[in-house]
Amino acid sequence: MLKWSVIFLIIAIVAGVFGFFGIVEAAATIAKVLFFLFLVLFVISLFTGRRRTY
């Protein structure tokens, strides 16, 4: 449990450093694009990935 606390502390510190330097806007834009891209790919895979041929 202490291991996870340290890992999340390091992640929070890194996110805070990026927040002060304006990298957050670029990262948020990239995250939004990737989110919608993978959402579309997920929906496509739902319709095409589970078809069975008898």
Looking at the predicted structure, is the pLDDT value of residue 51 above 70? Answer: no
pLDDT category, 49, cuts 50, 70, 90?
A: confident
What pLDDT score does 36 carry? Answer: 93
Q: What is the pLDDT of residue 35?
A: 92
pLDDT score of 4? 82
Q: Which residues of 6-31 are buried (b: 16+ CB within 10 A; e: fewer)?
A: eeeeeeeeeeeeeeeeeeeeeeeeee
The model's pLDDT over 15-43, given as tens digits with 9 standing for 90+, comes to 887 777 777 777 788 889 999 999 999 98
Residue type, 10: I
- pLDDT score at 53: 65
Q: Where are the domains of the chain?
A: 25-54
